[in-house]
Amino acid sequence: MVKIEVDRTQCQNFGECVLAAPNVFSLNAKDEMEYVPVADDSELDNVEAAVDVCPMQAIALR
């Protein structure tokens, strides 16, 4: 299992993570990023890619 934590004080809702890992991250109707905190191992590569591309470096893997 991949455990994901986003620092909400940093996140600016850029949505770059949504492009990298669309099964884990999404933007809701109010333009706010939402995510599932625990994802399947098969998502690891995508989530790591999301960590890399997050401009605020707000995503951490636990």
Interface with other proteins, residue 55, by CB under 8 A: yes
- The residues in 29-48 that bind ligand SF4, with binding defined as CB under 6 A, are 33
C-beta contacts of 41-45 below 8 A and 24+ residues apart: 41/1, 41/2, 43/2, 44/2
Interface with ligand SF4, residue 54, by CB under 6 A: yes
Chosen from other proteins, ligand SF4, none, partner binding at 26 (C-beta under 5 to 8 Å by type): none
Q: Which is nearer to ligand SF4, 15 or 36 (CB)?
A: 15
In the complex, the residues that contact ligand SF4 under the rule CB under 6 A are: 6, 11-17, 25, 33, 54-56, 58-59
